[in-house]
A and B are shown apart, each in its own frame.
Chain A
Amino acid sequence: MTIKHESQKIAQNFYTFAVLLFLVQVVVGIIAAVQFIWPGFFILNFNTIRTLHINALVVWLLVGFMGATYYVVSEESETELWSLPLAKFQFWATVVTITAVVLGYIIMGLYPQANILVSGTQLLNEGREYIEAPRWADILIVVSVLLFLLNCSMTVFKTKKWTGIQGVLLGGLVFLALMYLPGMFYTKSMVKDQFWWWWVVHLWVEGAWEIIAGALLAFMLMKLIGAKREVVEKWMYIEVGLVMFTGILGTGHHYYWIGTPSYWLWVGGIFSSLEPLPLLVMVWDAFRTTREHRQVTNKVGLFYAVAHAIFNFVGAGLWGIIHTLPQVNKWTHGTQITTAHGHLAFYGAYVLLVMAMIYVTLPAIRGVKEFNSSRAYQSFWWLTISMVFIVLTITGAGMVQTYMERLMGLDYVAVKANYNLWFWILRAIFGVGFLVGVGIFVVDYFKLGKEPARLKSAA
């Protein structure tokens, strides 16, 4: 596979930025893991490190989606992008904005008093989890996303090939852009603050992002194994439909204990219990399609795509459903059980998705038919085994915490500092394993297609 349109190469800029941020995310993740054992470790406090950890994650995944979308839209519309200079501008504008935000976080971490109020909002850090970026950055991010959506939409309008895949992909991205807005106004009530905050966080990761995942999975299945468009798109509609039918009202599982009325216990309990269903259909879809078609050239791309479907179901689905019922959640809410779910869900649903898209599209962008895939597999196993053990250790810590703190009534700090210490130590060790995987992936990303394909590939 080679690219048909020169402007598809823009995807590579976004991928490179994404891959570097992935590395940053995991390095600060390890610092955070050590701070669980030794809180005074490092010049920046845990709050800054964690802000960097989760913001780097969200941004690199979004940037990865953007790169992949430019590639897919051009491919599906069978034309060059509407404006390559605009895409380049949008890329560099994003890089500059993100860099400024990161510098702001670090300054605020070193000098908390620098986070002054400017026209009613904090200058450097809004102090709201995941959407810490200050208002001026929010506005720049919205402008960047609007330019990106404009460019993609105009590309589609050039040839008017409204394929299902790009319709759903762009629909998901428009939904994503809209759902950023509820996080951009101040409310005096912390209850309302968290209510709207969940619109952003939940309707992104359990709504818009899963729609994007459904569309990209369909695209990959079609490209990798030549599956029929009609069949792939029909199942895609069913999957993303079920995502929305369960996920929108599934937001209710965040409205159990934040001061909202008790009918959310019913709404959230019922609909969020159904949320794993579409993820299970995606796994079945990936396996069925793969079985029916056996001529695969890019095996490692398919490997990552199928792994994404499986771990999306395990991380987002299974690790979610274990604590989604209000009867269980009453005891586990706010414990490490949530952290465990967050780690495996983001890894399975989105990290593997963006990595899969990179392995599916990058060879074409670099103009190679075959490439040495041994590092790609190595990195997969380092990442996946490490992540599974990270999640098991945090799940263990969460169970101990739930039992000792919530059921027995021991103090939070006593449980964290004494009874869960070994879990933190093991988690940090597996974190280093994960970093090894990321390191191999980064090397592979930069070398892919730039060395002989047969080199050591038998090993």
Chain B
Amino acid sequence: MTKRRSLISLLSACLAITACATLGDGDASRVDLIRNRGELRCGVSGKIPGFSFLQRDGSYAGLDVDLCKAFAAAIVGNPSKVQYRPLTAPERFTALKTGEIDLLSRNTTFNLSRDASGGNGVSFAPVVFHDGQGLLVQRNSGIRSLKDLKGQSICVGSGTTTEQNLNDAFQSLGLPYKPIKYQDLNQVVAGYLQGRCQAMTSDRSQLASARSGFEQPEQHVILGDVLSKEPLAPLSSGRDQQLSDAMRWVVYALITAEEMGITQDNVGNKLQQAHDNPDLTKLRRFLGVEGDLGDKLGLSNDFVVNVIRATGNYGEIYNRHLGPDSAVPIPRGLNQLHRDGGVITAPPFQ
């Protein structure tokens, strides 16, 4: 027995060392893996109108989905080469960590525990939607603020930061409450509409998108109290610097394109201008006509052109899914460009 045990431990030690060694090389980048596979595996929610939602024709649409398309356009060169994996909140990090998906674009809150190597150790791209947690109540319930919810039942989705924020807010005010936890948002909505809870809580964007599906949306109000800041961002497993960088700069490219007024419609013209006029150096660098910015990232040099052709700039994506004419109108607020009074900005492409 002792011999056998030592043999096993010796064997496992050897395997562990080889595993570490092959990983340390870093020659097999996830970016190459995706390119060779010819398809990006993107984790989404699939249940939030405006962010990622299944359409009648079986395709997904939304802001999170457009980001998957942008990443695929940059890495594979084709925005339709995406395999979407609908994931629940508890599944998402495991799916990412085990390599089942390449990246996650699923309204995930960027915070320290998830980012740090001692926590989930994932790597976040820039924030694509600044959200905050809120509470939805019936208009005629007489509930106007958190204090009115003392001792009441609140419907909440389990396995998310939502649950923790709710607790932080009520605990700091010394208010008792009863969380009724469900596994997904649809059940939270059902429990709330059936009258099990006096309020339901989630990110304010999700409350707005859920309310858009109610029979009488005007009978429900989102309270003014904002329980948390929820910067939502796409993320990768954190083991591959090249992929993290690529994702970061694809998001920045979308933002920069909006700043420079480059849209899905005029990107062809802009490219022509860049080719024709050697003095437009900033535009030429951005679109990959000169310099080697794309190459440095391990992407094609004109990846920005591919991305904008696929999805348009950040403002176009936002308006398509969350703009005033969309099914889930959410005022842009913090998500406007910095020059328009929001917090969306990008470092220079230099």
Question: Does B associate with A?
Answer: no
